[in-house]
Amino acid sequence: MSAHSPMPRSAWIFPALAVLMFAAVSATGYVFTLTFGGLVFALVLLVILFGTVFAAVHHAEVIAERVGEPYGTLVLTLSVTIIEVALITTIMLGDKPAPALARDTVFAVVMIVCNGLVGLCIFIGGLRYREQGFQLSGANVYLSVLFALATITLIMPNYTTTTPGPVYSAVQLGFVDVVTLALYGVFLYTQTVLHKDYFIHERADGGSEAHLSARTFVLSVVLLLIALLAVVLLSKKFSLVVDAVAARIGAPPAFAGLLVALLILLPEGVAAVSAARKNDLQKSINLALGSSLATIGLTIPAVGVATYALDKELTLGLSGQGSVLLLLTFFLSMLTFGTGRTNVLFGLVHMVVFAVYVFMVFVP
């Protein structure tokens, strides 16, 4: 992104369309049904929603260029997490109960990011540059916090005795929320204050940060807030479309979580792949692993509070199959990020594990 390139029209058109669409639907009281008109509405909604998410990420990237690393990728990951929380809570707290949606979405994000996105970035970077380097100390910080948070939130609920099944009791969930937020907060302090040099790697091509005008920066801040608000407003309509389509095609329960995860991670994934192509694997890792941490560290507590306040059930524990895939991802990540250098083979192995996950969603 050039510091002097004009802002693309889509960066402000889609947020405006999203707000107008929400206003029109609210004013007319439109109710989605699986008719021809409903399918047209669903298509338009998805186009506007995707465009608005991309617009939000574009503005987050503009802000990221101004504030620099590691704050830049932090702005991006937090923006995407806000979108994710809005979509998950809206679908979970809708008319049709979906107590496992948060678990399925968080697990899908971890698998997409730590296997699909990381694998693709490493694979593409390996094809173009043979090997790419990154800060080993930063990767270790990411992985240590990620492994702890994922185990506490996705595996531990299967082995508690206070309540039966893969759920936490109210007291347990409250404790986990506090611990999760505290751990993520300390990670942010480490990333942005104590050891921010862990998350910055000198690029081989000698690239430097762009300098943006104050006007562009302020405009992007305003449009980012509008875009995030627009996504939150349209999330309820999106949830109705997801429920109807899943019921019509007989999709497995984890399908909704996978779809939500793909929607919110697509723009961030594009940014991570673009960074890998520019030989900036450190930024790809910051985006990918940072997304996983933000998803667990912020989404689980937010959804936990919402479900507790509205007396809804929250299923967190993974199945045995999911736990095996998660542990495999842990071990593979330790090997991949254990030397500070990557190559094509590491990327391919991650992508194979991701392919296994997607296949198991539809053929469990």
Whether residue 281 lies inside any domain: the answer is yes
Tens of pLDDT, residues 97-126? 677 878 888 898 889 988 999 999 899 988
- The domain in which residue 178 lies consists of 10-362
Identify whether 2 is part of a domain. Answer: no
Of the pLDDT bands very low, low, confident and very high (cuts 50, 70, 90), residue 201 is low
Please give the DSSP secondary-structure letter assigned to residue 316. Answer: -
- Residue 353: pLDDT above 90? yes
pLDDT-derived band at 265 (thresholds 50, 70, 90) equals confident
The band of 23, judged by pLDDT with boundaries at 50, 70 and 90, is confident
Please tell me the distance from the alpha carbon of residue 293 to that of residue 291, in angstroms, as a whole number.
5
Dihedral, 83, 192, 199, 103 alpha carbons, nearest 10: -30
Report yes or no: 187 and 141 within 8 Å, Cβ to Cβ.
yes
Whether 1 maps to a domain, the answer reads no
Residue 2: per-residue pLDDT: 40
When the pLDDT of each residue in the chain is averaged and rounded to a whole number, the result is: 80
Whole-number pLDDT of residue 1: 41
Do the domain assignments include residue 267? yes
Q: Nearest 5°: phi and psi at 310?
A: -100, 10
Residue 5 domain-assigned (yes or no): no
pTM: 0.79
Check whether 204 has a pLDDT greater than 60: no
User: pLDDT category, 96, cuts 50, 70, 90?
Assistant: low
Domain-located, residue 3? no
**pLDDT score of 6:** 66
DSSP state letter for 283: H
Residue 321 included in any domain = yes
Beta bridge partners of 342: 132
Q: pLDDT class for 214, splitting at 50, 70, 90?
A: confident
Q: Is 157 a member of any domain?
A: yes
Q: What is the pLDDT of residues 136-175, one digit of tens each?
A: 787 888 889 989 999 999 999 999 888 877 888 889 989 9
Cα–Cα distance for residue pair 36/226, rounded to 1 Å: 31
pLDDT at position 180, please? 92
Tell me the C-alpha distance between 214 and 271, whole Å. 23
Count of structural domains within the chain:
1
Write the CATH number for 67. Answer: 1.20.1420.30
- Candidate ranges 66-75, 257-266, 323-332; pick with highest mean pLDDT: 323-332
User: Percentage of the chain surpassing pLDDT 90?
Assistant: 15
- Tens digit of pLDDT for each residue in 124-140? 988 888 877 777 787 88
The three-state DSSP-derived secondary structure of 21-72 is HHHHHHHHCCCCCCCHHHHHHHHHHHHHHHHHHHHHHHHHHHHHHHHCCCHH
pLDDT tens figures, 287-318: 788 777 887 888 888 888 877 877 777 888 89
Nearest Cα to Cα of residue 318 among 364, 264, 265: 364
User: Distance between CA atoms of 168 and 172, rounded to whole angstroms?
Assistant: 6
Beta bridge partners of 133: 341
> 100 and 92 in contact (C-beta within 8 Å)?
no
Q: What percentage of the chain carries pLDDT values higher than 70?
A: 88
Contact by Cβ (8 Å): 123, 344: yes
